[in-house]
């Protein structure tokens, strides 16, 4: 009995030694794998939260543009997204991915628009309130995005970016809560430039260690 116990102990010790040797030899790959799995899990969790916020936001775009006795006060600009409001088809995975990128990984006004109009001269007598009056862009959530705009061209550029975001919100809203939307949002989060930069830094550190 004692010999059998010693044999089992010796065998277990050998297995433990092999495992320890494998860990010492491949710890970089194991560490990188653990980090990758953690990043994917976080990206999926964040995507779920984003989707649950985007669906009512897309519905709000739709509601603002519905016929109403007082819609003349805010209905201007609805024609720019009318085609997307009318759509009933399910978006493709690629469209969902681009929608999540647009909504969550691009800001308004974009750096391109800011640089383009930073040094632009203001138009004489320009009235931003008059430009936005009677349009859906006059509402409080959108109005601050036009801060500093003092030319018709700059206002139009910001409107175009808002339209792009609203089309993206409508696509996410049409899809609803689904695995396709969840994974598309997660992929958008994982391909965020800062995430890619962080992953590259971790890989570089592991190679140098």
What confidence tens digit (pLDDT) does each residue in 81-116 have?
Answer: 999 999 999 999 999 999 999 999 999 999 999 998
Answer whether residue 207 shows pLDDT above 80: no
Answer whether residue 57 shows pLDDT above 90: yes
Percent of the chain with pLDDT over 90: 46
pLDDT 10s digits, 65-74: 888 788 777 7
Rounded mean pLDDT of the chain?
83
Residues whose CB is less than 8 angstroms from the CB of residue 88 and which lie 6 or more positions away in sequence, other chains included: 174
Of 18-22, 96-100, 115-119, the one with minimum mean pLDDT is: 18-22
Are the beta carbons of 44 and 170 closer than 8 angstroms?
Answer: no
pLDDT band at 37 (very low <50, low <70, confident <90, very high): confident
Answer whether residue 162 shows pLDDT above 70: yes
pLDDT band at 204 (very low <50, low <70, confident <90, very high): low
Answer whether residue 181 shows pLDDT above 90: yes
pLDDT band at 148 (very low <50, low <70, confident <90, very high): confident
Could you give the CA distance from residue 174 to residue 135 in angstroms, rounded to a whole number? 24
pLDDT of residue 139: 85
Helix boundaries (H) for 87-151? 93-104, 111-117, 128-132
CA 100 to chain centre: 4
Answer whether residue 119 shows pLDDT above 90: no
As a residue count, the chain comes to 209
């Amino acid at each position: 009995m004692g010999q059998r116990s010693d044999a089992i102990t010796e065998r277990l010790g050998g297995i433990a030694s092999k495992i320890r040797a494998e860990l010492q030899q491949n710890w970089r790959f194991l560490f990188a794998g653990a980090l990758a799995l953690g990043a994917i899990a976080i990206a999926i969790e964040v995507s779920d939260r984003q989707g649950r916020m985007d669906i009512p936001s897309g519905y709000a775009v739709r509601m603002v543009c519905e016929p109403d006795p007082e819609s003349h006060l805010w209905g201007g600009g609805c024609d720019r997204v009318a085609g997307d409001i009318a759509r009933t088809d399910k978006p493709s995975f690629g469209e969902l991915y681009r929608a999540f990128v647009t909504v969550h990984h691009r800001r308004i006004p974009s750096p391109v628009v800011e640089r383009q109009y930073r040094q632009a001269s203001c138009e004489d007598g320009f009235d931003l309130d008059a430009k936005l009056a009677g349009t859906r862009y006059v509402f409080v959530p959108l109005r601050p995005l036009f801060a500093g705009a003092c030319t018709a061209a700059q206002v139009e550029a910001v409107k175009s970016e808002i339209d792009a975001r609203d089309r993206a919100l409508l696509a996410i809203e049409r899809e609803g809560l689904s695995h396709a939307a969840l994974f598309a949002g997660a992929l958008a989060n994982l391909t965020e430039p800062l995430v890619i930069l962080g992953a590259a830094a971790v890989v570089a550190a592991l190679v140098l260690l």
